[in-house]
Structure 1
Amino acid sequence: MINFRYHVVSLTAVFLALAIGLVVGTAALNSPLSDALNNQVNSLAKQNQGYRERITQMETEAGKQEQFTREAAPILLASKLTGRNVLVLSMPQTGDSVARVLDMLKLAGARVTGQVEIEDKFTDPDRKDNLLDVANGALQAGISNPPLHTDGVETSAYLLATVLLAHDPASAPSADAAKTVLTAYKEGSFIVPTGDLTPAEAVVLVTGAPYTDRNADAKNANVVTLAEQFSKQAPIVVAASGAAGSGNVISAVRGDPSLAKNIATVDNVTTPDGQVAVALALAEFLTTRKPGHYGVGGGANSMLPKQKPQT
């Protein structure tokens, strides 16, 4: 008679056989699977190394391109702005680009009359009443024909353009009036002026990335208003670090037919190519009285203005 012990031994033998079969089967299956996975990992590692090498090569080439542009700049810009008086305006956080642009303007022979940094509060709608108060006070200096409404940015931009740019002697503001206006905005911490700030005949406005805070739409629109007011009194080049993104001043100008006919733009001012383009675009504007649009973003005519061959 088959007893309980026999059943236990039999079941144990069956489970042992199953376990051995699973181990053997898994080992047989895992060997090719493991090899395949290892091959795939090795292939991906090689691809990744290839990508790294390509990136390194591209970075090296980009660096050489920037070096070439800087070394060629004196040749490209020679005498392009000789005898021209140029004012440089800048928005906050653009110091490096401004310094490079100043170098290029000087290489082109321009006389930089001064630099004015426009502070964030100038474009901030939360400070519009303060700005308008300063504007109303500055108007007492006797500046004629200001905008007749309560837009503090437009009125202030008009006042600054009037005292910073050259005009017919018969209509130019007095030196005392100019000093009164600039002092009012400086003491209100709306601008940071440097240099002699003698009257200029052309303007470069260097801007950064669009604002992205809760008041971004209004602030970005106010930067465009600033550029527009200066464009009504002198040739101006607006230079920024791109043409994309909501509220971008470059795309706003290029997308408005009226503004595009009165304001030149450069959309890659953080690069040597763009910095050279700023000086060339200003020279072209002063010579032809027609603004161009340069860079790598949407709406750009080309990288640089066309140069006439030397004879």
Structure 2
Amino acid sequence: MIDFRYHLVSIVAVFLALTVGLVLGTTMLQDPLLNTLKSETSELREQSETLRTEKERAESLNDGGDQMAAVYAEDMLDRRLDGTGVVVVSAPGADEEVRKGLQARVEQAGGTVEGHLALADKYIDPDQATFVGELADQLAEGADESGAGGGPYERAAARLADALGVAPEPEGGEEGEDGGSEDEEGSEEGGGGIDGEAVLAGFAEAGLLTVEGEPADAADAVLVVAPATPFPAGASPSPEGEAAEPPGNDAVLPLVAAVGEDGPALLAGDASAAGTGGLIARVRREGAPSATADATGRSSGDVAAVLALAEAMEGDPGHYGTGEEVDGFLPDPPPPAREADETGERTEKTADRRTPQAG
């Protein structure tokens, strides 16, 4: 008959067997296990040292490339933007030092920075989208119908593009007796027939942007600086289960597209802007007609960005840097220098700004 003593003896026997097994196992396996761990640790340490050395070497090569780019930047950029009026637009969160570095390279290439628009956080606030659209409609008096449709940010982008002067100029204007166009009196207004200064002032007074310099109706080309870090993602995931697209991209993308549709434009930023949730990645994915560069913030990347803008001036915008879907680090071959015409003056704007300017 099985009683309590039987169960007690059985339990003691089981625990004794486990104890003996643990003792024998640790004693017999201790040396092989320790040797294996020591070997793997040594291999990992060697791999770590190799990776560290490779990282330091890559950083040295990058620094050397930047030094070389800085030395030869003047020759590489010589007259690539000669006579070009450039308006710079900063997205909310754009790095000021990156913007100033790009502006310096634009001037080194012979371009003139006519002014700077800094979009405010209020501009990309989803709660302000209706207000942005209503303001754009109020400021649209005298504009053509090309930017009348679309959502609030599409309408705002059309107004801003017109105000900067990048919209196409009217074609076929009849010449007067003095050889000028009959609509020459309205040339001080934006390409869409609006008062550029009034439009920019309206957006500025509403706290949607700040204006530096005199960018109204002054843009032969537009340089947009992406935020230093991607905009925060939306609250709701997409139907596919992916993270929602940042609302800030939805607000700024139409402006990048608008300035690129009617004139040379470049969206420039660093590697983060070309990564997940980045504005450059979004522009490339959706095929907006603007050039992009994703290696700014260092000499080589800034030079490549200005060369990309110069290439866009030739009517062939490309994508450059180190991110996905790029054509290379910089245009190959680089765009030609802009030449003076027979009168010694730089070629003026043409009616179609996407057409390469003649030498």
Q: Which residue of structure 1 aligns with residue 109 of structure 2?
A: 108
Picking from 286, 290, 293, the partner of 1:263 is 290
1:211 partner SS: coil
Q: Which residue of structure 2 aligns with residue 276 of structure 1?
A: 303
Q: Which residue of structure 2 aligns with residue 205 of structure 1?
A: 224
**Bigger shift: residues 153-162 or 207-216:** 207-216
**Bigger shift: residues 220-229 or 84-93:** 220-229
What's the TM-score once normalised by structure 1's chain length?
0.78
CA–CA distance in structure 2, aligned partners of residues 25 and 89 of structure 1: 70
CA–CA distance in structure 2, aligned partners of residues 309 and 146 of structure 1: 33
After superposition, the CA RMSD in angstroms is 3.2
Q: How does 1:40-189 map to 2 (within 5 A)?
A: 40-95=40-95, 96-140=97-141, 142-145=142-145, 147-149=147-149, 151-165=151-165, 167=169, 169=184, 172=187, 174=189, 177-189=195-207
Describe the shift of the 1:31–1:70 C-alpha distance in structure 2 as closer, same or farther (beyond 3 A).
same
Q: More helix per residue: 1 or 2? A: 1
Describe the shift of the 1:265–1:41 C-alpha distance in structure 2 as closer, same or farther (beyond 3 A).
closer
1:117 partner SS: strand
Distance apart, 1:224 and its partner CA: 1.7
Identity %, equivalent residues? 27
Describe the shift of the 1:197–1:36 C-alpha distance in structure 2 as closer, same or farther (beyond 3 A).
closer
**Bigger shift: residues 203-212 or 85-94:** 203-212
**Bigger shift: residues 104-113 or 156-165:** 156-165
Q: Which residue of structure 2 aligns with residue 225 of structure 1?
A: 254
Picking from 281, 293, 297, the partner of 2:319 is 293
Describe the shift of the 1:23–1:264 C-alpha distance in structure 2 as closer, same or farther (beyond 3 A).
closer
Letter of the structure 2 residue corresponding to residue 193 of structure 1: V
5+ residue gaps, structure 2, are 1-21, 171-183, 236-244, 338-359
CA–CA distance in structure 1, aligned partners of residues 124 and 299 of structure 2: 28
Deviation string, structure 1 residues 140-167 (Cα, Å, up to 9, x no partner): 4x33436334622122211111121264
Letter of the structure 2 residue corresponding to residue 272 of structure 1: S
CA–CA distance in structure 2, aligned partners of residues 51 and 217 of structure 1: 34
CA–CA distance in structure 2, aligned partners of residues 83 and 138 of structure 1: 30
**Bigger shift: residues 274-283 or 248-257:** 248-257
* Native 8 Å contact 1:85 1:110 kept in 2: yes
How many residue pairs are counted as aligned between the two chains? 284
* Native 8 Å contact 1:239 1:269 kept in 2: yes
CA–CA distance in structure 2, aligned partners of residues 170 and 232 of structure 1: 25
Letter of the structure 1 residue corresponding to residue 222 of structure 2: V
**Does residue 254 of structure 2 align to residue 254 of structure 1?**
no
CA–CA distance in structure 1, aligned partners of residues 110 and 30 of structure 2: 74
5+ residue gaps, structure 1, are 1-21
1:115 partner SS: strand
**Does residue 264 of structure 2 align to residue 235 of structure 1?**
yes
Describe the shift of the 1:64–1:232 C-alpha distance in structure 2 as closer, same or farther (beyond 3 A).
same
Deviation string, structure 1 residues 16-36 (Cα, Å, up to 9, x no partner): xxxxxx999977875665566
Give the greater-gyration-radius structure (CA).
1
Describe the shift of the 1:49–1:183 C-alpha distance in structure 2 as closer, same or farther (beyond 3 A).
same
